[in-house]
Amino acid sequence: MAQNASYGLLKSSIGKKVFMALTGLFLCLFLVGHLAGNLQLFISGQPGQIQFNKYAEFMTTNPAVKILSYVTYFSILFHVFDGLALTLKNRKARPQRYHYKKDSANSIWSSRNMGVLGTVILVFIVLHMSNFWFKMHFGDIGVDAEGRKDLYTVVAASFEQLWYVAIYAISMVAIGFHLWHGFASGFQSLGLNHSAYTPLIQGFGKVFAVVVPLGFAIIPIYMYLT
Ligand code: HEM
């Protein structure tokens, strides 16, 4: 009975929105942690290489981090599949698309294009993980002076290519727009509405949507230029 109820919740639009919000907000936390770790790429030369490789080794071997990694993979998959289901359902419910002007009067561009933005981000994540993550876990990438897998050199070599840097910069714009609507919308889907706190959450969400993608975008640009 209880199992049926929770299955029903998962399948309903409201249930989907709640789980999308939970996974989306968890992924926001992931982004903060990931950005903080990646800031070590600003340390140049061999000290930077050694430090980043130490960090990458810790992140792939520490049992607590491993559990968080699995939660991250699950959240990405769940967020993608439910996002797709919700987008298709909304399209079906509203087959004739409103006139552009009418649409834009009612909502901002990013909120109407979460599915498209999400798809660009998904393509980015597949490309990103097939390069860095796959090579770290399964690739034969050589070792640094201290004998650790040399992920730093893989990252540095990737960001020597302008097209690769451009893909990162463009993808971060998509992430920025996705977060611009998604961050505060996540809180709303969880029913966390409050006359005093909601404007604060909305404001913080917008700062988050600019600062975090900008932080990610600056890293490949910096590595390309130095
Ligand atoms: C400057 C930008 C970025 C750099 C340099 C970077 C670097 C890396 C590296 C080196 C790894 C492999 C680490 C490992 O397996 O231990 C990794 C994994 C990953 N990255 Fe990024 N990343 C960037 C931006 C992003 C963004 C914006 C996202 C999400 C939208 C993202 C999502 C992921 C995910 C999901 C993993 C797998 C994490 C895990 O196994 O726990 N990355 N990244």
pLDDT digits (tens, 9 = 90+) for 135-147: 999 988 999 999 9
Q: Which atom of ligand 1 is nearest to the CA of 175?
A: 30
CB-count burial class (<10 Å; 0-12, 13-18, 19+) for 3: exposed
Q: Is residue 47 part of a domain?
A: yes
What pLDDT is attached to residue 94? Answer: 65
Residues 6+ apart with CB under 8 A from 197: none
Site to probe by mutation for ligand 1, drawn from 68, 133, 152 as the one with most ligand atoms within 8 Å of Cβ, is 133
Site to probe by mutation for ligand 1, drawn from 27, 29, 31, 34 as the one with most ligand atoms within 8 Å of Cβ, is 34
- Length of the chain, in residues: 226
Atom 17 in ligand 1: which residue has the minimum CA distance? Answer: 133
Atom 2 in ligand 1: which residue has the minimum CA distance? Answer: 216
pLDDT, tens digit, 9 for 90 and up, residues 16-67:
889 999 999 999 999 999 999 999 999 989 999 999 999 999 999 999 999 9
Q: Cβ(207)–Cβ(27) under 8 Å?
A: no
Output the CA 61–ligand 1 centroid distance in Å: 16
Q: Cβ(41)–Cβ(52) under 8 Å?
A: yes
Work out the pLDDT band at 182, boundaries 50, 70, 90.
Answer: very high
pLDDT, tens digit, 9 for 90 and up, residues 64-108:
999 999 999 999 999 999 999 888 887 777 655 555 555 555 568
What pLDDT is attached to residue 118? Answer: 93
**Nearest-angstrom CA–CA distance, 117 and 171:** 9
Q: Cβ(19)–Cβ(10) under 8 Å?
A: yes
What pLDDT is attached to residue 68? Answer: 97
| Number of domains, the chain | 1
Q: Is residue 100 part of a domain?
A: no
pLDDT, tens digit, 9 for 90 and up, residues 200-212:
999 999 999 999 9
Q: Is residue 106 part of a domain?
A: no
Q: Is residue 7 part of a domain?
A: no
**CATH for 173:** 1.20.1300.10
Output the CA 191–ligand 1 centroid distance in Å: 31
Q: Is residue 45 part of a domain?
A: yes
Site to probe by mutation for ligand 1, drawn from 39, 128, 149, 171 as the one with most ligand atoms within 8 Å of Cβ, is 128
What pLDDT is attached to residue 13? Answer: 75
Is the torsion defined by CA of 200, 182, 180, 217 positive or negative? positive
What pLDDT is attached to residue 1? Answer: 42
Q: Is residue 105 part of a domain?
A: no
Output the CA 33–ligand 1 centroid distance in Å: 10
Q: Is residue 24 part of a domain?
A: yes
Domain enclosing residue 170, as ranges:
15-94+112-225
pLDDT, tens digit, 9 for 90 and up, residues 103-136:
555 568 888 889 899 999 999 999 999 999 999 9
Q: Is residue 78 part of a domain?
A: yes
Two structure tokens written together for 73: 């993979």
Output the CA 8–ligand 1 centroid distance in Å: 34
What pLDDT is attached to residue 88? Answer: 85
